[in-house]
Chain A
Amino acid sequence: MKKFKKKVSSEPKIPTASLPDIIFLLLIFFMVTTVLKRYTGLQVALPSAEAIEKLESRRHISYIWIGPGGRISIDDKIVTKDRINLVGALMYDKRSADPQLVVSLKIDKEVEMQNVTGIHEQLRRADALRVNYATLFRKTN
């Protein structure tokens, strides 16, 4: 009988030399996609709706908050009702800087509509016509 040669068992090793490269790649991906939260805004209870759409890119979104009582906040600055023209001026600058601007309106569900239409008017004046009413998702049936 022939003798079998003993196989030389090499120690199993996972190659770790390329590990930093892989992690670097992941890191760069997350660095590029991260948009850090810029503004805190106001505490609002958003309404819920069913037929909602996702907004694609956070980079082109600008937020306007309207809290209960009609307090307006843009970029963490409170805009009082008698100086609502500021909204138009601010949004005009933003719209000029970014033609793809989408304005996300985070409005409390108890807010009276006269405040909302005031904002509409300002946005129209600023030519920032793409709006999105921020809502929560709720399936009705």
Chain B
Amino acid sequence: MLVEKRKTPDAEIPTSSLADIVFLLLIFFLVTTTINTDKGISLQLPASGQTKTVPKKNLCNLLINDFGDVLLQGEPIQVPYIQNEIRKRVQENPNLIISIKTGKKTAYGIFIQVMDQLKLAEAKRISIAEPES
């Protein structure tokens, strides 16, 4: 008896739609990826329990009261002028530490404006003092 040999069709995985599937995944990740990075003013806090005594000539006090008025070494100053004043002082004395002291109810926005001015003045040594009660 003659048995006809069955033709076995070639087993194949259809790959024509692979590109479409991968495209879909790609688009998903493209959409969910957020490119916008976090931006802000960086600061290194001092370690806990680390207190240093600083000679008075290396210290520059910057006081901000509850209403947002700023005192630089005892003299009132407008926020936009802090940059130039601090830059001058830092150039004179590179070891100068700027100590910011705020009131308890000072708005955070004012504090950031002052910090921004210090960063613009390229002041590297900034310390944040505890608010006065």
Asked if A51 contacts B38 (CB within 8 A), the reply is no
Docked Cα-Cα span, A114 to B128, in Å, equals: 12
The one of A127, A131, A140 that contacts B80, using a Cβ cutoff of 8 Å: A140
Please tell me if B1 contacts chain A, counting CB pairs below 8 Å: no
Digit string of A21-51 for contact with B (CB within 8 Å is 1, else 0)? Answer: 0011011001101101100000000010111
Report the minimal beta-carbon distance from A58 to chain B, rounded to whole angstroms: 7
Contacts of B11 in A (CB 8 A): none
A20 located at the interface, meaning its Cβ lies under 8 Å from any Cβ of chain B in the complex: yes
Interface size class of A (residues with CB under 8 A): 35 or more
Interface residues of chain B: helix, strand, loop or mixed (majority): mixed
Which residues on the A side are within 8 Å of B43 (C-beta)? 131-133
Contact B103 A113 (CB under 8 A): yes
Given contacts A111-B107, A112-B106, A114-B131, contact A49 B46 (CB under 8 A): no
Provided the pairs A36-B32, A116-B111, A131-B45 are in contact, do residues A51 and B105 lie with their beta carbons within 8 angstroms? Answer: no
Choose among A109, A110, A134, A140 the residue that contacts B40 (Cβ–Cβ < 8 A). A134
Summed over the interface, the residue pairs from A and B with CB atoms below 8 Å come to a total of: 145
CB atoms of A55 and B37 under 8 A apart = yes
Contact present for A104 and B105 (CB under 8 Å): no
Q: Which residues of B contact A140 (CB under 8 A)?
A: 80
Q: With A24-B22, A30-B26 in contact, is A133–B41 under 8 Å at CB?
A: yes
Chain A hits for B47, CB < 8 A: 124, 127, 129
A-contacting residues, B13-48, CB 8 Å = 15, 18-19, 22-23, 25-26, 29-30, 32-34, 37-48
Q: Taking CB as reference atom, which chain A residue is nearest B103?
A: A113
Q: A24-B22, A117-B131 are in contact. Are A125 and B48 (CB under 8 A)?
A: yes
Q: Is the CB of A23 within 8 A of B22?
A: yes
Instruction: Mark interface residues in A113-141 (1 if CB within 8 Å of B CB, else 0).
Output: 11011001001110101111111110010
Q: Are B113 and A47 in contact (CB under 8 A)?
A: yes
Q: Does B130 contact A (CB under 8 A)?
A: yes
Q: 16 interchain pairs (CB within 8 A)? A: A23-B23, A27-B22, A27-B29, A47-B112, A47-B113, A51-B116, A54-B37, A58-B38, A113-B111, A114-B105, A117-B131, A124-B45, A129-B45, A130-B44, A130-B45, A135-B41
Give 8 nearest A-B pairs by CB, closest first.
A109-B109, A51-B119, A30-B29, A49-B116, A114-B104, A47-B112, A134-B40, A113-B102
